[in-house]
Structure 1
């Protein structure tokens, strides 16, 4: 973890490094620093108090085992110091090639190599003083102390810096590092990435409209702007300028004669970058070791996009959605219109247009930054084919134990029935829902549905005589019709005023799904008779017994007393017993006709 602790960093804009020391890389310790750089002893092994080494490892004693600070180093080395028992200077070197009357920033990265809790908790902290002296070593230009860097047990390189200014005529300085603490248990450190670079103002560049950059379209022709450099005067007391331009921000070219705070650019037809170099002294402005540069003002000229490339016409069926699409470079967006020029915007910023409306649509490529559109639009057509014209869904019926034919009723198409069949007509023998997918020559499909309901044959449950009426009951329901002759049918299951005798009963569904029959002997027995001598209903006499060969009839009172017994030749009763007229009451009968018996009761009313 890198933590900055400011002793005095450049408050403005730092220039490019003009001196660096990262102590190299490799697995072999050394080489030793040049003579006069330090009074400490160089060692290729474990450094004792007052020793130093240049190494890619710090795995000594119980120190932290760390990598150097330089980013990207492989086996990078650092300057490793085991402090002397006596405080004092442990490093100095001369830095040359500086510019006179110029502000610089010196910086270096340090770390305490002791682990937390070392020396029984009494580890001596690291405390280093940085000093910058003039080249005569008699005039100190700046100094600053790191303060106590205690052992915290984690790898935290910290950067420290000093800002100083060279004097007129001065082109080199002497860097010194002093150990403010005595050695012993602790005060063991590593140093890496010593750096010198110029320090100047932060300088912004903008137009009178306060634009910090400009983007234009190629079809706007050459554009120009007035650029103004504004230093923050955080470092420089005076300002000298040299404007530059570049096409790649790598190679910069001075613009002759442009040495003021403002620049009127030439007409720009291709992307161009502008900046200015700044120094306090005209002698230094063209020396990159002595100046700083402003922010970059970019005039970006966007090329007119080529018209997008169609991915082809799209054909869909009525009721579907089709996706029209085009390709273009990734840096462009696509807008869709309903006309080749002008027209209405249909969809913006999408390479795909989804619609179900037939027609030709037009795709235009455009910049994502500004309005900079292709000069032509690409036509993409959507064709919508009609669906097959099919009749309405159909409900039909199926007679029990039979089949019915379903007809798609559309010709010159293909068929796919839910049964798996592929013909126009199919026969089905089961009730239920059926459908057929009908596809025309355009490949468009529609579905016709059929509901088939089974019509069951009537099931005769029973047939009874109710006086002169015949009543038919069925065990299932339906739109049934009833007949006694198989010709004339009625919707009622009751036949009224039917003479006694043998009949065939016919029952059918009104959908002509077949007839069921059952033979029935209709015996008409009065519910009462009135033997009062008016010759109307004076006797109890069942109607219909004449069809039988042998008939017996027995009549009983409510107590079971036999009142009348007769045979085929005498099947009536006049309401007397042994010549005596019997009173009004209910009486019972038992009729045996061949092998069939009929039982019931009737009333005698006088």
Structure 2
């Protein structure tokens, strides 16, 4: 039986909805091979050699003269014959797995996590190599957003699944992000073998809302068309709007999206011309919090 531990540089509770990425490697031993995620060779064996990977729902403990733990099932809770990714590391250090993330909300915080276990039993050899894990997150053009060194994955008497996670902020201008798993251990031979499962991307904050839309011109002439200055905004939990004339004097205030400016102040028509508006609104964020946004612009009142 395996136990679990949590090793997190940073964590988030997430927002409602399915994780954008939830890689559990499917079911059935030797299932679908990884296409672009690794440069390692695929092995249909449950005991892949150096520089190879396999997909298997269990490890019997017979690998390499009983050097590996017996792991009867993968990490994913509740699945049946679910696979884990088995890595027999190459002799040189470097990236062994990568995944490209698309469709992220610009400027939004995300958490990337995975579960890993050292496959080697203790006492197998006197000079074993420990997997040494780093998560590096970068843009598609190579700009590094986050690097976290988690260090060695220790040998344990029984298999211990450990959760590794880090957070990062997506680029403000939407572009693909690449996550690389790097093994800093450059030795093959005895050890440097691990299994991974449940690679997940979790969104920590809600996506920033689309900016409110406010027309540039309105004509309060009573013809029933564009007579009022309206604000078009979604998902706000609070809202205020202030309108000022060219001398900075307040001419209108509202704290409800259903309350529109009709071009009057205290019942008297305001003169034609440009007016400055400022709106403040809050939208739900993560962990039962809200985030405030402020927009400012000008509108032309035509009579």
Which category describes the TM-score, using the shorter chain as reference length? Answer: 0.5 to 0.7
Secondary structure of 1:5's match? strand
Q: What's the CA shift for 1:171?
A: 4.0
Q: What is the match of residue 5 of structure 2?
A: 3
Say whether 1:179 aligns with 2:209: no
Q: What is the match of residue 100 of structure 2?
A: 94
In structure 2, do the counterparts of structure 1 residues 9 and 293 end up closer, same or farther at CA, with 3 Å as the change threshold?
Answer: closer
In structure 2, do the counterparts of structure 1 residues 99 and 256 end up closer, same or farther at CA, with 3 Å as the change threshold?
Answer: closer
In structure 2, do the counterparts of structure 1 residues 86 and 168 end up closer, same or farther at CA, with 3 Å as the change threshold?
Answer: same
In structure 2, do the counterparts of structure 1 residues 261 and 109 end up closer, same or farther at CA, with 3 Å as the change threshold?
Answer: farther
Q: Output the CA distance in 1 between the equivalents of 2:234 and 2:202.
A: 27
Q: Is the 8 A contact 2:185 2:192 kept in 1?
A: yes
Secondary structure of 2:103's match? coil
Q: Is the 8 A contact 1:135 1:170 kept in 2?
A: no
- Using the size of structure 1 for normalisation, the TM-score is 0.34
Say whether 1:168 aligns with 2:172: yes
Alignment of 1:148-163 (within 5 A): 148-163=152-167
Q: Which of 129, 133, 137 is the matching residue for 1:132?
A: 137
Q: Deviations 1:252-281 (Å, cap 9, x if unpaired)?
A: xxx9774328999xxxxxxxxxxxxxxxxx
Q: What's the CA shift for 1:172?
A: 2.5
Say whether 1:292 aligns with 2:294: no
Q: Output the CA distance in 2 between the equivalents of 1:87 and 1:79.
A: 18
In structure 2, do the counterparts of structure 1 residues 257 and 80 end up closer, same or farther at CA, with 3 Å as the change threshold?
Answer: closer
Say whether 1:69 aligns with 2:75: yes
Say whether 1:40 aligns with 2:30: no
Secondary structure of 1:292's match? coil
Secondary structure of 1:48's match? coil
Q: What's the CA shift for 1:40?
A: 0.8
Q: Output the CA distance in 2 between the equivalents of 1:257 and 1:128.
A: 41
Q: What's the CA shift for 1:177?
A: 0.8
Moved more, 101-110 or 171-180: 171-180
Larger Rg over CA atoms:
1
Q: What is the match of residue 195 of structure 1?
A: 200
What count of residue pairs does the alignment treat as equivalent? 218
Q: Is the 8 A contact 1:84 1:184 kept in 2?
A: no
Q: Output the CA distance in 1 between the equivalents of 2:88 and 2:152.
A: 16
Q: What is the match of residue 336 of structure 1?
A: none
CA-atom RMSD, angstroms? 3.0
Q: Is the 8 A contact 2:139 2:175 kept in 1?
A: no
Q: What's the CA shift for 1:58?
A: 2.1
Q: What's the CA shift for 1:25?
A: 1.3
Q: Which runs of 4+ in 1 moved over 6 A?
A: 261-264
Q: Is the 8 A contact 1:48 1:82 kept in 2?
A: yes
Q: Deviations 1:136-167 (Å, cap 9, x if unpaired)?
A: 2x101101122111211212101011111111
In structure 2, do the counterparts of structure 1 residues 258 and 43 end up closer, same or farther at CA, with 3 Å as the change threshold?
Answer: closer
Q: Output the CA distance in 2 between the equivalents of 1:145 and 1:68.
A: 25
Q: Output the CA distance in 1 between the equivalents of 2:183 and 2:42.
A: 17
Q: What's the CA shift for 1:86?
A: 1.1
Q: Output the CA distance in 2 between the equivalents of 1:258 and 1:55.
A: 47
Q: What is the match of residue 21 of structure 1?
A: 23
Secondary structure of 2:82's match? coil
In structure 2, do the counterparts of structure 1 residues 122 and 195 end up closer, same or farther at CA, with 3 Å as the change threshold?
Answer: same
In structure 2, do the counterparts of structure 1 residues 261 and 71 end up closer, same or farther at CA, with 3 Å as the change threshold?
Answer: farther
- Using the size of structure 2 for normalisation, the TM-score is 0.65
Q: Deviations 1:467-492 (Å, cap 9, x if unpaired)?
A: xxxxxxxxxxxxxxxxxxxxxxxxxx
Say whether 1:141 aligns with 2:145: yes
